[in-house]
A and B are shown apart, each in its own frame.
Chain A
Amino acid sequence: MTDLPSGSEAPGSRRSIIRKKHDESAPNLKPILVMEEVYKYFRRDIPTLRNVNLTVHRGEFVFVTGPSGSGKSTLLQLIYRQHTVDSGRILFSGRDISRLTDKSIPFLRRNLGIVFQDFKVVPHWTVFENVSVALDIIGAPARVLRVRVSEALERVGLAGRGNDRTGALSGGEQQRVAIARAIVTDPALLLADEPTGNLDPQLAIDILTLFQEIHESGTTVLFATHDHSLLQSAPHRLVVIDEGRVIEASQGIRAWSARTTTATTSTGSSTDAAAETGT
């Protein structure tokens, strides 16, 4: 883990925008994230996550899905150390993040990009300020900062909007600002916690497309959602969390779909298809 963005490059370089297309059929087999027998309790008798085992390889795009309250957000929060595991371990780039001291947590987060359902942008800041804050934190020089922020804004389709007040933007645009902030440091892993939850279906598809473009440029993405339409629209690996357990692969999605089919029959079969494709 470093204190600097992993993709640090010469100022003004366009490398972070134009990258070689990532081939998901031949992913880098080196794992970036490994969760081993992870348990998390918020109530003493009922674990929110139980015996979670999950490996994410570099360059993968992984959907994490499951019903509301199943533990998707908790899983992500353990990765960015909002919470600590009660037992088990989480290896990020080979290091056990559950053993990090409080003072080391900022340095973990500098290697992650995090996008939230409620955007978490500062409304009275400009778009530029909201994106550049991630680079400010790592002490990037002003010139590098300007170049990389404008690159990030271009990637999310907000080129030239740097001086706009963020609070005046639409929901979809605010989420793009949040995504630009998450990718501007070129993080090793991009975590998205229901990033389309507050957006209408068309905007949700747009945002997912944006994440896929980011993934195609080489970024590992962990995308938590319970939106079936998104799962069926993109053929990626699918991890289901149900009652705190991770059920990987088609077997898992079938079991989960069987329960949800009663409510949404067509969605259940489509997520199955997506799961098959993704595994």
Chain B
Amino acid sequence: MSLQAIFQRTQRGFRHDLRLHAVAVVSLIVAFLCLGTALLGIENLSRVADRWSETQHLTVYLRADASAEAVAQLRSSLTNLREVSKVELVSAAQAREQFLQQTSVSAEPSVLGDDVFPASLEIDLSSRLPTDRLDKLVQGISQFAAAEEIETYRTFIGQFHTLLQAGRTGAWVLSLLVLICVLAVIGNTIRLAVLNRKDEIEVLKLCGATDSFVRSPFLVEGVLQAVTSASLAMVLLLFAYLLMRGRVETTLTTFTGVSSVFLSPITVACVIAAAGALGGLGSALSLRRYLKV
């Protein structure tokens, strides 16, 4: 039984049940679009988490009544520390200015008072510090009278990681749902195709066709359906991504500090390959149940 013959018979099957297969492909595209969107979200959230985890940064908010001398003393002490690579003073006015620039607030700037934002020292660390050393550093800084509050961003990053983990779990659950959906859609499509081609199957059996000869085109139909659906879903997702990126990329980059990316070619290839395997499995299960040869 040559591959060419199998594909010819598969093509004939597609032609015969064109509407049935078209409906199945549309359903599967929706399923794979959901999965692709979830994967895209996880991919980009992971990038943000990685970027933020790598940030070796502290912000020391200064008391409003801190004297210039106290601030200078704190700044000097910090600069002399081995762990600190850079210390920058951001005054309340500069903080306000940065906020207005980054958020593009269209309202009258004078609405925001000069002292809305506290002055701060932005500290870049020379390397990522272990938790105990970071705690010790924070404790040391808090001894200075000028320091009111120290932001290490650890809580925020921790919360973000929790959120990301929840997202990943959600993606797994979605993958499971997509798996069930693909098996059900392909299984039912093949079942209907078998019913539609009952006469054809009978003729094949009477002419001496083996089980594998009768089953092979249905199996290929299932695989092709899933691969086609997954490929089209990836193409649609790419178009949607490019369309969205043009509109929201600047804002996203401003807030997250990283630019968005599409799914890697390996991820796309894996989704399509997994779809093919699922398609084969779905049709095999259906044939086993509904095609007695």
Q: Is the CB of A80 within 8 A of B12?
A: no
Contact with B along A116-137 (1 / 0, CB 8 A): 0000111111000110011011
- 8 Å CB contact of A136 from B5, B200, B206, B211: B5
Which parts of A95-116 form the interface with B (CB within 8 Å)?
103, 106-112, 114
The answer, yes or no, to whether B130 is at the interface (CB within 8 Å) is no
Given contacts A136-B5, A139-B1, A139-B2, whether A120 and B208 have CB atoms under 8 Å apart is: no
Tell me whether B206 and A114 are in contact (CB under 8 A).
yes
Closest-by-CB residue of B relative to A138 is: B208
**B199 contacts A120, C-beta separation under 8 Å:** yes
A122 touching B208, Cβ below 8 Å: no
A80 touching B207, Cβ below 8 Å: no
B207 touching A109 by the CB < 8 A rule? yes
Check if B206 sits within 8 Å of A137, measured CB to CB.
no
Residues of B within 8 A of A107 (CB): 208
Q: What residues of B have a CB within 8 angstroms of the CB of A125 in the complex?
A: 12, 200
Q: Tally A residues with Cβ within 8 Å of B.
A: 25
B193 at the interface (CB under 8 A from A): no
A121 pairs with B16, CB closer than 8 A: no
A125-164 vs B, CB cutoff 8 Å, 1 = contact: the mask equals: 1000110011011110000000000000000000000000
Contacts of B206 in A (CB 8 A): 80, 109, 114, 120
Residues of B within 8 A of A109 (CB): 205-208
Determine whether the beta carbon of B2 is less than 8 Å from that of A122.
Answer: no
Q: Which B residues are CB-close (under 8 A) to A123?
A: 199
Q: How far is the CA of A123 from the CA of B202 in the complex (A)?
A: 13
Whether, in the assembled complex, A254 has its beta carbon less than 8 Å from a beta carbon of chain B, the answer is no
Chain B, residue nearest A111 (CB): B208
Q: Is the CB of B209 within 8 A of A122?
A: no
A110 cross-chain contacts in B, Cβ below 8 A: 207-208
Query: Does B209 contact A137, Cβ atoms closer than 8 Å?
Result: yes
B204 is an interface residue with CB less than 8 A from chain A = yes
Residues A133 and B204 in contact, CB atoms below 8 Å apart: yes
- Scoring B residues 198 to 220 as 1 if CB is less than 8 Å from chain A, else 0, what string do you get? 01101111111111010000000
When A and B form their complex, which 4 residue pairs have the shortest distance between CB atoms, in order from nearest? A110-B208, A109-B208, A106-B208, A134-B207
Q: Which residues of A contact B (CB under 8 A)?
A: 80, 103, 106-112, 114, 120-125, 129-130, 133-134, 136-139, 181
**Besides the contacts A130-B203, A137-B204, what 15 more A-B pairs have beta carbons closer than 8 Å?**
A80-B206, A106-B213, A109-B208, A110-B208, A114-B206, A121-B203, A122-B199, A124-B16, A133-B203, A136-B9, A137-B208, A137-B209, A137-B213, A139-B5, A181-B207
| A-B contacts, 10 listed (Cβ < 8 Å) | A106-B205, A106-B209, A108-B208, A109-B208, A111-B208, A122-B200, A130-B203, A133-B204, A137-B208, A137-B210
